[in-house]
Structure 1
Amino acid sequence: MTVEPGVRVGQDSDAAVIERSRDEPEAFAALFDRHADSVHRYAARRLGAEVAEDVMAETFTTAFQQRFRYDTELADARPWLFGIATNLIGRHRRAEGRRLRALARLPAPTGGGAEEAVADLVADRVSAQALRRELAAALARLPARHRDVLLLVAWADLGYEEAARALGVPVGTVRSRLHRARRKVREALGGSDPTALREESDDDE
């Protein structure tokens, strides 16, 4: 049996929670309990912990206000929530760019520190210590629309179809943007791709 992330066996799906919350607004708190931490982590990696708190809160405020428009045929609400969060992050493009450029200028880490979030992307086969600064610089140079796709897949752990739903674009557009973003990252990092934590076959739709 497949259970959506954040949902325990026997619990209602996200869609069921949202549907119930239309008549019982307090029921929406269950969605917050399931997904607030992951939305906060995603926003913190992109903007820093202080701004992330506001983004997370506004994400769920917006979701609550828009719950009557949610398609309850879609059991998992994560793409919807991360789409809202990504739109809110879009209002902080300059702050995100400054954060990434600042991380790129940091000295080589000795453990801990603000740059840890960037290193979370790095696969076991890649040296996190060597790539933190280079990865931050590579991400900073990506067009915003490409960075959004890349980080929804790598940081929010969305599949291609889920990322497409989050951004309101076709799956083919997600694949194209992700391919270009990863190519740019590989070029910047000498062939390594620490963002390739989730791979899907080109045949997966």
Structure 2
Amino acid sequence: MNINSALAHIPRLRRYARALAGDAALADDLVQDTLERACQKWALWHPPAAATAEEAQKALLSWLLTVMHNLYANQWQQAARHRTVELDDAQDPSHDPMPKLALQLDLERALGLLSPQAREVLLLIGMEQFSYSEAAQMLGVPVGTVMSRLSRAREQLRRLMDGERPASAVLRAVK
């Protein structure tokens, strides 16, 4: 298997990056950074022993998503040091000709308000359909942590979609 086999995963990488970053330009940059890192570190990736072609492709996707996760986490931590989050009080329109668009925008806004750890778990399991153990391996955390983060992320997402304002206190991750 060579580096060209990673090209088949670009659409899934873009979809995950777009959902993770919330911005098309940032997502494209993240995909590009991920592919550049994969090219640089290609010698570190080895398909599972006696794996079929399909299993090798799934393992490659998992590795690429892990690389993307690590890059995003590093970028987010660097950016978090230099930004403040301000919430704007947007008024609800009196007439909405496209209610599904509003729901999609609300979901996108709510996903953006989740912590990166919660958003990553929710997207890997909910959107990308990875198992708990696969997501745990990609994120480098125990399965129980994935389950806990997913439960909290779903609850927080439900509250945000119901119109609850996000908590103003910022919690820091403790290693």
Superposition TM-score tier, normalisation by shorter sequence: 0.5 to 0.7
1:108-123 map, 5 Å: none
Q: 1:45 to 1:144 in 2, by over 3 A?
A: closer
The answer to whether structure 1 residue 84 and structure 2 residue 67 are counterparts is: yes
Name the structure 1 match of 2:51.
none
Structure 2: where are the runs of 5+ without partners?
Answer: 49-54, 164-175
| Partner Cα separation in structure 2 for residue 92 and residue 71 of structure 1 | 28
Report if the CA contact (8 A) 2:34-2:67 is conserved.
yes
1:177-196 map, 5 Å: 177-190=149-162
| Partner Cα separation in structure 1 for residue 92 and residue 62 of structure 2 | 35
Identity of aligned residues (%): 32
The answer to whether structure 1 residue 174 and structure 2 residue 157 are counterparts is: no
Name the structure 2 match of 1:50.
25
How far residue 149 of structure 1 moved from its aligned partner, in angstroms, is: 0.9
SS, match of residue 157 in structure 1? coil
| Partner Cα separation in structure 2 for residue 53 and residue 85 of structure 1 | 12
| Partner Cα separation in structure 2 for residue 80 and residue 142 of structure 1 | 24
Structure 1: where are the runs of 5+ without partners?
Answer: 1-16, 18-26, 112-126, 192-205
1:123-142 map, 5 Å: 128-142=100-114
How far residue 163 of structure 1 moved from its aligned partner, in angstroms, is: 1.1
TM-score by length of 1: 0.58
| Partner Cα separation in structure 2 for residue 106 and residue 156 of structure 1 | 33
Q: Using CA pairs under 8 Å that are at least 6 residues apart, name the structure with larger relative contact order, 1 or 2.
A: 2
Report if the CA contact (8 A) 2:106-2:161 is conserved.
yes
| Partner Cα separation in structure 2 for residue 58 and residue 162 of structure 1 | 22
Report if the CA contact (8 A) 1:105-1:133 is conserved.
no
1:96-107 map, 5 Å: none
Letter in 2 for 1:80: W
| Partner Cα separation in structure 2 for residue 152 and residue 98 of structure 1 | 27
Report if the CA contact (8 A) 1:79-1:158 is conserved.
no
Q: Give the length in aligned residue pairs.
A: 147
1:12-40 deviation digits (Å, cap 9, x = unpaired): xxxxx1xxxxxxxxx311222x1012111
How far residue 105 of structure 1 moved from its aligned partner, in angstroms, is: 5.0
How far residue 71 of structure 1 moved from its aligned partner, in angstroms, is: 4.3
| Partner Cα separation in structure 1 for residue 35 and residue 115 of structure 2 | 27
| Partner Cα separation in structure 2 for residue 165 and residue 52 of structure 1 | 22
How far residue 140 of structure 1 moved from its aligned partner, in angstroms, is: 3.1
Letter in 1 for 2:3: F
Report if the CA contact (8 A) 1:106-1:133 is conserved.
no
Name the structure 1 match of 2:168.
none
Between 44-53 and 142-151, report the one with greater CA deviation.
44-53
Structure 1 outlier segments of 4+, above 6 Å: 106-109
Letter in 1 for 2:128: A
Letter in 2 for 1:54: D
How far residue 130 of structure 1 moved from its aligned partner, in angstroms, is: 4.7
Letter in 1 for 2:65: F
Letter in 2 for 1:67: W
